[in-house]
Amino acid sequence: MINISCLKEVLAYYKQDFIPTLWKNERFKWEAVRWFQDHWDVNAPDFAEMLSRSLDKTSILLNSQNNFPAGMIIGFAKAAPDEVRAMFIALFDETKDVVERIEAFKLHSTILLQKYGKGAAQHYQYENAISTYLWLRYPDKYYIYKFKEVKAVASQLESDYRFKKGAYSDNVRSFLLLYDELNDALKEDSELVELFHSQPTKSCYPDPELRTLTVDVGFYICNYYSDYQNSVKEPEDHTAVETVPVIPESSIESYSKSDFLDEVYMTESRYDHLVAVLRNKKNIILQGAPGVGKTFAARRLAWSMMGEKDDSRIEFVQFHQNYSYEDFMMGYKPVEDGFELKYGIFYRFCQKAANQPDKEFFFIIDEINRGNMSKIFGELLMLIEKDYRDTKATLAYNGLSFSVPRNLYIIGMMNTADRSLAMIDYALRRRFSFFEVEPGFDSEGFIRYLNDLDNETLNELVEKVKELNREITLDKTLGKGFCIGHSYFCGREICTEEWLHSIVDYDILPMLSEYWFDDAAKYQRWENILQGVFQ
């Protein structure tokens, strides 16, 4: 008997990893079965060619670094097609005991090796390969046997079955009993069954008895689950978690509050307030005029809160008018001759965060007010709220439960000077705090930057822009959301007059022309003031 409690813990992780990682990497198993079923013909005139074609999709299952069963059996079939045909007919004869059939196949392979091996040391036709042939032919009855995996499954699930090296017959019989028991338990997990059935396309075997799924769970236990036990604490019950590569700590550069203030040109008090607001609300929108460095600040804000430049915990998207829920969360997308449920960037990132609950993750959305908020977020409008984090809701597309983890922060950016954009959706506005990112001309970091460049023309131009911002702020048709940001003047180690001219001519003046399109006199006055800096 297996320990059902242990299995439930395993399946919690398996379901989390299934869609974003496992299905992508392991779907070839279901494709291999479908391909074999479509091409197997034991009576084919050219048996070797048919066998080779039938095994064409088995990939590493029958050909790996030190194991070449497919190549050997195909070679034997070319040399002695009728003998190998008879071997497969006998192997697939369900009136005989399965262990006896496996032993007979091994024995005949030894004979063929002596006749046609051409000096090869072994034939590679052992329990693993032979069980694979059985699984391909009868996928609703058999599984793939691999000693290492079977032993790991028995151990992790605290079963009564024991597997010993050299005890071939006993191992195979115990393996079939163990996996039958595991298969029965998987069928009882309606969430897993529904999750699996949402994925296969026409190129995959539908696996109605979930035998291949059972094989995959065994593979997962052996190759993934033990790593989780050693590195990650028990997960929340989400539907899917993306596997995250482990990055050595020594390779990740640290990043502190002082690093942020050196680069972003924000006062310390403003930074402290920004972090406090984000930690409290979980969701924040950095709004401000063009050139205040909203996008630049967002990534560095995430780094400073993490304490390191770990970009694997940051995701970045940009909204636009055609961005949809299907892009963001999930939706059916055309594949080959049908449609397949695909999971969006936010869905996958939430599961990545859920898999590492002790670390903070940041989802950054540029131009957040350019998208149709209700259309993009759907039921997430509730789930992203601080008080509803980790609260499960049933998703419309797949009917499975989903929640937004508490360790995920959402940072949006919004340009307040774009007249073409409507006000942000009120329902979304209630879920976010809004933080005004202001020009940082007076910050300590920017002043140090000016001192390092040591250019009088730049200093004078900055003073004129500060005066310009004061007038923009007082303008009833504009306001501080239309001020000129400091980032236009950043990012240089050497200041040239040509560069400063380009800022004025191609960045600032075109913006002022739009601001004061109905006040030519005011625009002309400021053009003269800014150009006068260079005279």
**Digit-coded pLDDT (tens) for 116-147:** 988 888 999 999 999 999 999 999 999 999 99
Neighbouring C-beta atoms of residue 235, cutoff 10 Å: 20
Nearest CA-CA partner of 139 in 274, 2, 39, 33: 33
Between 66 and 264, the higher pLDDT residue = 264
Q: Residue 307 — left, alpha, or beta (φ > 0 → left; ψ -120 to 50 → alpha)?
A: left
Domain locations along the chain: 4-231, 257-436, 444-532
Based on the number of CB atoms within 10 Å of its own CB, is 337 exposed (0-12), middle (13-18) or buried (19 or more)? exposed
- 453: phi then psi, degrees, rounded to nearest 5: -75, -35
Burial of 198 (0-12, 13-18, 19+ CB in 10 A): middle
Beta bridge partners of 59: none
pLDDT mean over 290-307: 90
Q: What would the two tokens of residue 361 be?
A: 């993750």
What residues does 339 pair with on adjacent strands? 334
Output the pLDDT for position 518: 86
Q: For residue 448, which of 261, 235, 257 has the smallest C-alpha distance?
A: 261
Q: 257-436: which CATH topology?
A: Rossmann fold (3.40.50)
pLDDT band at 52 (very low <50, low <70, confident <90, very high): very high
pLDDT band at 289 (very low <50, low <70, confident <90, very high): confident
- Bigger pLDDT: 374 or 213? 213
End-to-end C-alpha distance for the chain, whole angstroms = 89
Which of the pair, 64 or 184, is modelled with greater confidence?
184
Reply yes or no on whether the pLDDT at 421 is more than 90: no
Average pLDDT, rounded, for the chain: 86
**Does the pLDDT value for residue 497 go beyond 50?**
yes
CA torsion through residues 392, 394, 399, 402, sign: negative
Sign of the Cα torsion 120, 125, 129, 135 reads positive
Query: Could you tell me the pLDDT band of residue 234, with boundaries at 50, 70 and 90?
Result: very low
pLDDT number for residue 417: 63
Average pLDDT over residues 332-360: 81
Model pLDDT for residues 165-211, shown as the tens digit of each residue? 888 899 999 999 999 999 999 999 988 998 898 888 889 999 999 99
> What is the predicted pLDDT for the residue at 53?
95
Give backbone dihedrals phi and psi of 335, rounded to 5 degrees, phi first. Answer: -140, 125
CB neighbour list of residue 449: distance below 8 Å, 6 or more residues apart: 265, 490
Cα gap 264→487, rounded to integer Å: 9
Q: How far apart are CA 152 and CA 485, in angstroms?
A: 60
Predicted confidence (pLDDT) at residue 236 exceeds the cutoff of 90: no
